[in-house]
Structure 1
Amino acid sequence: MTTDHPAQPAHRKDANGNDGLARLLDHVANLPPVRAAIVHPCDALSLAAALDVRDAGLVEPVLVAPRARLEAAAEEAGLDISGLPVEDVPHSHAAAVRAAGLARDGEVEVIIKGSLHSDELMSAVVASASGLRTKRRVSHCFVIQTPHYPRPFLVTDAAVNLAPDLLQKADIVQNAIDLARVLGIALPKVAILAAVETVNPSMQATLDAAALCKMADRGQITGGVLDGPLAFDNAVSMEAAKTKGISSPVAGQADILVVPDLESGNMLAKQLIFMGQAASAGIVLGAKVPVVLTSRADPRESRMASCAIALMLAHHYRQSPP
């Protein structure tokens, strides 16, 4: 296994024939790489990915892991990590804590998950002692492109918050709007999803959706256009919205899909990826630095796109700290 050439994503296009993920890499081509803590990359996949994003000019990796395990994994995979700085720590938990400390002290501007569990990494990031917390709830966004929709869109939160309450959902929505604007969507259209498109007192998701829209009306959520509750079909299909008699600036053309809880969001995102021919990237927002939560099942293009988004955010945070 080698990474001796700049990585490029697979060419998957949206319904208008645009390759948004390839355009993303083109967009960041002129941005200088930032230092990134690769947390516990103690397997061949994580180490290869670190070399991949380095060779693509996205980040300057700092490997945070037990040195002996790193060197053994690199030797077994035939990878040369001799040029990479290493923060030697005793185990994965210490790696997560050390990476958070490096970010707090400004020594790295991005944190990237290696071969440890997401919960272990995020526990260190959100700990009060980490110094990385902001006034905002931490949340995750998938950036998804599918040939069945005319442009890339966001799904949130499908990876961090299990069952968010109303105020937590407000932060999740604001995080997603802020990311969409960094990605170049000037006024993102936000669909608050539920099983139905009408308010039902027996369905908490519909009550939360209505409240979030009123919060946006009152300036408690800014920078986007919200509508909800919307069922998934009404959010992404103009025809479905017209059939239901829904008149909305969001219905059928959503840029952001806000799900009721992690379970529904995770299933939606993975259905799009594994059965909808979707390409994806993912990023954690709400901390002082962007966090990339890669999965062992993620293809190379997803890892590259996620790091490209992290690079954009890191440069944005220099001017507008979260």
Structure 2
Amino acid sequence: MEPIRNFDQLTAYLQALHQRKRIVVVCASDPNTEYAIARALDEGIAEFIMIGDSTALENYPTLKKYPEFVRVIHLEDPDEAAREAVRIIREGGADILMKGIVNTDNLLHAILDKEKGILPKGKILTHLSMMQIPTYPKFLFFSDAAVIPRPTLQQRIEMIWYAIHTCRQFGIEQPRISLIHCTEKVSAKFPHSLDYVNIVELAEAGEFGNVIIDGPLDVRTSCEQASGDIKGIASPINGEADVLIFPNIESGNTFYKSVALFAHADMAGLLQGPIAPVVLPSRSDSGLSKYYSIAMACLTCGNS
């Protein structure tokens, strides 16, 4: 499989599979979510179970075009809608879970329910984003910008595993994973940089398989070879990172928002850890970003 390097290639790849993935959406009555769902229906990559207020959902023009690919379940209470969506995923009735305008806490409560949720025991919940930047020749994945405030060593290792699995599904045989810091120096003042040393040692010992992991590195050195050359830094990442692992949620989230705003990057993102991909967009995400997240989920579902 040739690596998928942009969102147009991703859509084309999914269309060539001639298989619509089943997506259950909680409270999808907002214009951006409507756009994403309509786009996925038009592109032929998904079918939908819509859970929420049917009086709002049934007025969507695009949904009326595809009655065979859209089913509506009327539940006005957001908590009840979230629980029903999680039940459908848990029982194998859908491949992907998607958040509409329901509060994130409501949906996470259902996902994380110890008896009826969809996060297996021992798995961590984290967020993996991907972006297409006009000035970068391929997708750039990064974690975690939304869930884990300050990852422990074990959580970082799990985040890396999720990223590796996703990269493989995008045709990246040897992912280059950069452990991000504000400098290339290891210091006890920054405990995460000590974790990075342990992770690099694990990678060099073959713990992660066919992958390149290095750090600490800053973002520019990770993604621009000339920057490393100027600094005299020899890294196997070689300015060609596929994945950036951020030290904490503040840095990851700031990067996410800044690149989207100032570099006009196209974004997608999923929750990792549950038994099915979870599309959990921000309220400010565009309809296009939500569609790209659906496409990302369609490629990775069944392997989350």
TM above 0.5, yes or no, is: yes
CA spacing shift, 1:45–1:300, aligned 2, 3 Å: closer
- Superposed CA deviations along residues 35-71 of structure 1, whole A, max 9, x for unmatched, are 1101111334333432332222121110112xxx331
Compare 44-53 and 111-120 and name the one that shifted more: 44-53
Q: 1:19 to 1:154 in 2, by over 3 A?
A: closer
Percent identity of equivalent pairs: 27
Q: Name 2:82's counterpart in structure 1.
A: 96
Aligned to 2:176: 189
Asked if 1:126 is matched to 2:124, the reply is no
Q: CA deviation at 1:197?
A: 0.6
Which of 42, 45, 54 is the equivalent residue of 1:70?
A: 54
CA contact (8 A) 2:57 2:72 kept: no
Gaps spanning 5+ residues in structure 1: where? 1-17
Q: Residues 60-209 of structure 1: matches in 2 within 5 Å?
A: 60-65=47-52, 69-72=53-56, 74-75=58-59, 83=67, 84-134=70-120, 135-209=122-196
SS of match in other structure, 2:107: helix
Specify the code of the residue in structure 1 equivalent to 2:248. D
1:50 maps to a residue whose letter is: I
| 1:214 equivalent in alignment to 2:198 | no
Contact between 1:177 and 1:223, CA under 8 Å: does it hold in 2?
no
Secondary structure, in 3 states, of the residue corresponding to 2:47? strand
Could you tell me whether the CA contact under 8 Å between 1:144 and 1:152 is conserved in 2?
Answer: yes
In structure 2, distance between residues paired with 1:207 and 1:164: 13
Relative to the length of structure 1, the TM-score reads 0.85
| 1:241-252 map, 5 Å | 241-252=228-239
Instruction: Verify: 1:271 aligned to 2:258, yes or no.
Output: yes
Residue 239 of structure 1 aligns with an amino acid whose one-letter code is: A
Deviation of 1:90 (Å)? 4.0
Equivalent in 291, 297, 301 of residue 310 of structure 1: 297
Q: Is the 8 A contact 2:36 2:288 kept in 1?
A: no
User: What is the CA deviation profile of residues 253-306 of structure 1, one whole-angstrom value per residue up to 9, with x for unaligned ones?
Assistant: 111000011111011011111101211111222211111112333233322221
Q: Secondary structure at the match of 1:130?
A: coil
TM value normalised by structure 2:
0.90
Q: Is the contact made by 1:35 and 1:59 (CA closer than 8 Å) also made in structure 2?
A: yes
Query: CA RMSD for the aligned pairs?
Result: 2.1
Contact preservation (8 Å) 1:44, 1:74: no
Say which SS state the counterpart of residue 115 (structure 2) adopts: helix
Q: Pick from 41, 45, 51 the counterpart of residue 38 of structure 2.
A: 51
Pair 1:301–1:48, CA change in 2 (3 A): closer
Q: Is the 8 Å Cα contact of residues 50 and 57 (structure 2) preserved in structure 1?
A: no
Whole-angstrom CA distance in 2 between matches of 1:167 and 1:223? 20
Q: Would you say the 8 A contact 2:32–2:290 is kept in 1?
A: no
